[in-house]
């Protein structure tokens, strides 16, 4: 009987963010390459629609949980055992603490090891429980794993130093651009931005209550810029923004008519936002990889970011680096791009070429190679 790997597809169900995008693109890429092991995907009937609907060559194994922790600790291990899986791949940081089927796990970064107050300025019960589930559970599951995948050299160093995980178990497997870049026509782009009530030229950022994403300092930096340079700052993907200081900050800085806050944005609208932006500002305080930077690169948008975490591994010299703790530094780097079209074009080209170094096919090939090693299967 041919060996098969069961991949946890639950993170790709529903509204996909970083981990969900990774799971979605990895499975798609694995489905496209020649392989000596069979790939099946485990899905939760209560977590959302099948994200690979229409891909008939991909076999699903269905379970039911509705709760991420219960899924990882009870439902998925049982599904792997009952379906006869040779190996189960946990894609969302945590993995089973007990189970009969060998496992590998992708731990994307070690952000969960920070104190919760350093992660979010507003703490609520569900967030508290999730934080401690990851903080104290990931190490336990990782010790059972035959392999640990992570996104960057930086994250590998963090996992070794903060979790004490053995270096011989860890494999660095970089990711790629989160979405397939299909640029809109200028007419469609204009109509989409008009529907979203966004005026050009605008600066794009990704908002979050996560302190690490540094939304407040980006707002402070934008307030220093003249209206003649940029009409608006658009903070996309900013859910639960009312729990952040950004609304009050916007009011105090008189930015109500220049700040557009958007919640969850589906792929096609996010593409329009990147394509229409004059620049993308990502002044993160820490990052295990930096998927949005590759998205901006792929769509030819110049990027301002921070020289922290794994960002230099992903962005190299194709961006302008600012001090994330200094709004003045952030605003100066933004303005240097906005007022110099030649520099903006140079950076857009450098970013596009940098993005071509990262592909999901390469991610899938490296992942498959590790499956084969764990299973003792020849390529």
Buried b / exposed e over 19-33, threshold 16 CB at 10 Å, is bbbbbbbbbbbbeee
Q: Which CATH class is domain 186-355?
A: alpha beta
Distances (CA, A) of 63 to 83, 86, 96, 255: 11, 18, 16, 48
Instruction: Give the whole-number percent of the chain exceeding pLDDT 90.
Output: 82
Q: What is d(CA 25, CA 92) in angstroms, rounded to the nearest whole number? A: 14
4-176+359-375: which CATH architecture? Answer: 3-Layer(aba) Sandwich (3.40)
Residue 22 confidence (pLDDT) above 80: yes
Predicted pLDDT of residue 116: 66
Residue 117 confidence (pLDDT) above 70: no
The residues spanned by each domain of the chain are 4-176+359-375, 186-355
Quick one: which of 239, 248, 165, 188 has its CA closest to 209? 239
pLDDT interval class at 203 (50, 70, 90): very high
Alpha-carbon 369 to chain mean position: 23
Quick one: which of 105, 170, 116 has its CA closest to 140? 105
Is 205:236 a contact under the CB 8 Å cutoff?
yes
Buried b / exposed e over 172-185, threshold 16 CB at 10 Å, is bbbbbbbbebeebe
pLDDT interval class at 120 (50, 70, 90): low
Each residue's pLDDT tens digit, 283-305: 999 999 999 999 999 999 999 99
Query: Residues near 328 by Cβ (< 8 Å), separated by ≥ 6?
Result: 221, 224
Q: Do domains 4-176+359-375 and 186-355 have the same CATH topology?
A: yes
Residue 34 confidence (pLDDT) above 90: no
User: Which tokens hold the place of 63?
Assistant: 């379970």
Predicted pLDDT of residue 290: 96
Each residue's pLDDT tens digit, 58-115: 899 999 998 999 999 999 999 999 999 999 999 999 999 999 999 999 999 998 887 7
Predicted pLDDT of residue 125: 65
């Amino acid at each position: 009987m041919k060996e098969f790997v069961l991949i946890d597809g639950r993170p790709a169900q529903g509204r996909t963010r970083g981990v969900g995008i990774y799971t979605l693109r990895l499975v798609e890429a694995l489905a496209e390459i020649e392989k000596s092991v069979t790939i099946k995907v485990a899905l939760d009937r209560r977590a959302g629609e099948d994200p690979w609907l229409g891909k008939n060559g991909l076999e699903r194994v269905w379970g039911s949980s509705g709760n991420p922790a219960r899924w990882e600790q009870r439902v998925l291990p049982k599904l792997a055992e009952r379906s006869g899986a040779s190996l189960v791949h946990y894609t969302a940081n945590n993995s089973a603490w007990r189970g009969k089927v060998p496992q590998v796990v992708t731990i994307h970064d070690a952000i969960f090891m920070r104190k919760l107050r350093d992660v979010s300025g507003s703490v609520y019960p569900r967030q508290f429980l999730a934080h401690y589930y990851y903080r104290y559970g990931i190490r336990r599951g990782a010790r059972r794993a035959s392999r640990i995948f992570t996104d960057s050299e930086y994250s590998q160093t963090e996992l070794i130093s903060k979790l004490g995980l053995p270096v011989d178990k860890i494999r660095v497997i970089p990711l790629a651009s989160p979405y397939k870049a299909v640029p809109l026509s200028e007419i469609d782009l204009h109509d989409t931005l008009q529907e979203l009530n966004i005026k050009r030229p605008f600066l794009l950022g990704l908002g979050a209550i996560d302190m690490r994403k540094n939304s407040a300092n980006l707002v402070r930096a934008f307030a220093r810029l003249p209206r003649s340079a940029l009409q608006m700052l658009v903070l996309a993907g900013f859910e639960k923004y009312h729990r952040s200081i950004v609304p009050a900050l916007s009011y105090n800085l008189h930015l109500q008519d220049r700040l557009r806050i958007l919640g969850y944005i589906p792929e096609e609208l996010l593409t329009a936002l990147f394509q229409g932006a004059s620049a993308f500002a990502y002044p993160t305080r820490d990052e295990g990889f930096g998927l949005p930077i590759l998205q901006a690169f792929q769509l030819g948008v110049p990027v301002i970011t921070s020289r922290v975490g794994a960002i230099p591994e992903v962005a190299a010299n194709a961006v302008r680096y600012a001090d994330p703790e200094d709004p003045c530094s952030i605003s100066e780097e933004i303005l240097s791009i906005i007022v110099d079209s030649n520099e903006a074009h140079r950076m857009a080209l450098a970013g596009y070429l940098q993005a071509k170094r990262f592909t999901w096919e390469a991610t899938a090939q490296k992942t498959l190679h590790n499956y084969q090693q764990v299973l003792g299967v020849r390529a």
